[in-house]
Amino acid sequence: DIQLTQSPSFLSASVGDRVTITCRASQGIYPYLAWYQQKSGKAPKLLIYGASTLQSGVPSRFSGSGSGTEFTLTISSLQPEDFATYYCQQLTSLPPYTFGQGTKLESK
């Protein structure tokens, strides 16, 4: 199975900060990498797919990059509604699909 490791697992930041979350895969998965945001008690919400394509309706302060085995999610200027947990996911043609362990973004 392909393992995904996110870093950091916890992140404290302030409104207006630039935030970066990293997702490393145990083997090459480009471009089968998606990012999701999950708020407490809610289902995950798709932010980014294909490593760098912004889902319709998602604010442009969110961006994704990377290739091969290393990927990043960046929030250019953190807003109050962005405090949540973020997950990366790989969906290559060889299941099982896997998720990273999550990064909890908290207010400093």
Partner 1 sequence: QVQLQESGPGLVKPSQTLSLTCTVSGGSISTYYWNWIRQPPGKGLEWIGYFHSSGRSFYNPSLKGRATLSVDTSENQFSLILDSLTAADTAVYYCARERCTLGTCYFDFWGQGILVTVSS
Q: Which residues bind partner 1 (CB under 8 A)?
A: 1, 31-34, 36, 42-46, 49-51, 53, 55, 87, 89, 91, 95-102
Q: In sequence order, what E strands does 1-108 have? A: 4-7, 10-13, 19-25, 33-38, 45-49, 53-54, 62-67, 70-75, 85-90, 98-99, 103-107
Shortest spacing between CB 15 and partner 1, in angstroms: 26
CB closer to partner 1, 16 vs 57: 57
Helix (H, G, I), strand (E, B) or coil at 82: helix
CB closer to partner 1, 17 vs 44: 44
CB closer to partner 1, 66 vs 100: 100
